């Protein structure tokens, strides 16, 4: 779809003359463009269409982002850190003082400064990458541990709510689209066998054993910007920042970083957990967070890798049972292949869980 990009950009208080606007990055949710500024010495910008089908409350989402980035910026300034525009994303207001604009087609747009001299890494390839990713996301947690005021808005309701995911799963079983239950009984049994264990985090939270924190909810290494020397600049892609458990961020990072294959691998024998990647990420993460995380939170970090892997498998299985209505698929069996891969990783994490717990104890 084409958009009147120059007209949309003109709604924002951009410094300089817009010379060009072209697609940027490879995100799957939002549409992102780089605004090139004609004058030498002035920063370029990023223009982004926010996906209001995924994010139902754009105003609430942008309120979260501004609160979070303002808080980080103030802390950096108090510490005397220079070049803060490289250490935290800077959003630009519209000419009427808002942080987003809505076009005539009902699309929502935001603009923020392009971080000059930054680079990203698409995939964790070695323990050093894992350590930096852990340190980056751990530092993000540390920066927001004392955010004042009311809780952030929940930008995707029930995102990691295991009770909600089980309800959807059972509804899918009732519908039994094209008799797919008969094709997935092994996976269905796996989900039912693990139901009690997968309520561990929600029970601990309700019993006030672990607190609610601010979570990023998309802890892939490509959501950290680095400078040309490989040093961490800042965490980006803040649309999913909202209240949650620290385990959501830690667990999902391990799920994606320490798995030895892609999430739709069909040869299940290739799937396992790389304990060196796990150790390195955990070391970086805990360097930044162990001073304020509770003993119980730290104790449950290994379980969180299993939980986040399981919940993704459950979502893939549910979508397959529903007739593949949520996730984009490449072929008819794509979702069930994804589910099987995730469940195999759950089993591998279970097999290595004692070693994972030992690693956490050693780091702490």
| Per-residue confidence (pLDDT) for residue 219, from 0 to 100 | 96
Instruction: State the pTM of this model.
Output: 0.94
The full DSSP string for 25-38 is S--SSSEEEEEEES
CB 64, CB 153: distance < 8 Å: yes
Q: Go through 156-182 and write b for each residue having 16 or more CB atoms within 10 A of its CB, e for each that does not.
A: eeebbebeebbebbeebbeeeeeebee
- Per-residue pLDDT, 29: 84
**Is residue 134 classed as helix, strand or coil in its secondary structure?**
helix
Indicate the average pLDDT of the chain. Answer: 96
Nearest to 124 by CA among 233, 240, 260, 217: 260
Whether residue 69 contacts residue 75, with contact meaning beta carbons closer than 8 Å, is answered with no
Chain segment 340-351, per-residue pLDDT in tens: 999 999 999 999
Residues of the chain with pLDDT under 70: 1
Q: Are 317 and 185 in contact (CB under 8 A)?
A: no
Provide the angle, in degrees to the nearest 10, between the axes of the packed helices 334-363 and 275-289.
60
pLDDT at position 303: 98
Residue 184 structure tokens: 């997935």
Distance CA 11, CA 104 (A): 13
Separation CA 109–CA 3 (nearest Å)? 11
Question: What does the pLDDT read at residue 27?
Answer: 74
Cα–Cα distance between 287 and 360 in angstroms, integer?
Answer: 11
């Amino acid at each position: 779809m084409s958009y009147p990009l120059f007209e949309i950009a003109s709604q924002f208080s951009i410094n300089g003359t817009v010379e060009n606007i072209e697609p940027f990055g490879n995100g799957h949710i939002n549409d992102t463009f780089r605004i090139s500024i004609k004058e030498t010495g002035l920063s370029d910008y990023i223009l982004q269409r926010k996906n209001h089908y995924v994010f139902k409350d754009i105003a609430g989402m942008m309120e979260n982002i501004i609160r979070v980035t303002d808080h980080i910026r103030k802390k950096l300034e108090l510490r005397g850190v220079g070049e803060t525009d490289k250490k935290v994303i800077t959003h630009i207001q519209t000419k009427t003082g808002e942080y987003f604009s809505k076009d005539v087609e009902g699309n929502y747009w935001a603009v923020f400064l392009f971080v000059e001299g930054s680079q990203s890494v698409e995939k964790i390839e070695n323990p050093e990458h894992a350590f930096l990713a852990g340190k980056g996301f751990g530092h993000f947690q540390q920066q927001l541990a004392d955010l004042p005021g009311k809780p952030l808005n929940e930008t995707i309701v029930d995102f990691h709510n295991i009770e909600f995911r089980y309800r959807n799963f059972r509804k899918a079983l009732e519908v039994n689209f094209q008799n797919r239950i008969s094709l997935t009984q092994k996976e269905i049994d796996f989900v039912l066998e693990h139901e009690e264990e997968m309520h561990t985090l929600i029970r601990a939270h309700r019993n006030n054993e672990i607190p609610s924190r601010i979570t990023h909810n998309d802890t892939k290494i490509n959501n950290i910007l680095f400078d040309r020397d490989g040093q961490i600049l800042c965490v980006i892609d803040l649309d999913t920042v909202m209240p949650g458990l620290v385990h959501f961020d830690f667990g999902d990072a391990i799920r994606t970083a320490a798995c030895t294959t892609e999430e739709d691998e069909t040869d299940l024998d290739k799937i396992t957990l790389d304990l060196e990647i796990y150790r390195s990420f955990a070391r970086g993460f805990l360097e930044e967070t162990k001073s304020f995380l509770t003993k119980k939170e730290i104790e449950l970090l290994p379980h969180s890798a299993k939980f986040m892997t399981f919940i993704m498998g459950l979502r893939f299985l549910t979508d397959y049972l529903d007739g593949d209505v949520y996730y984009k698929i490449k072929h008819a069996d794509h979702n069930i292949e994804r589910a099987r891969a995730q469940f195999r990783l759950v089993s591998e994490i279970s097999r290595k869980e004692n070693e994972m717990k030992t690693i956490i104890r050693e780091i702490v």
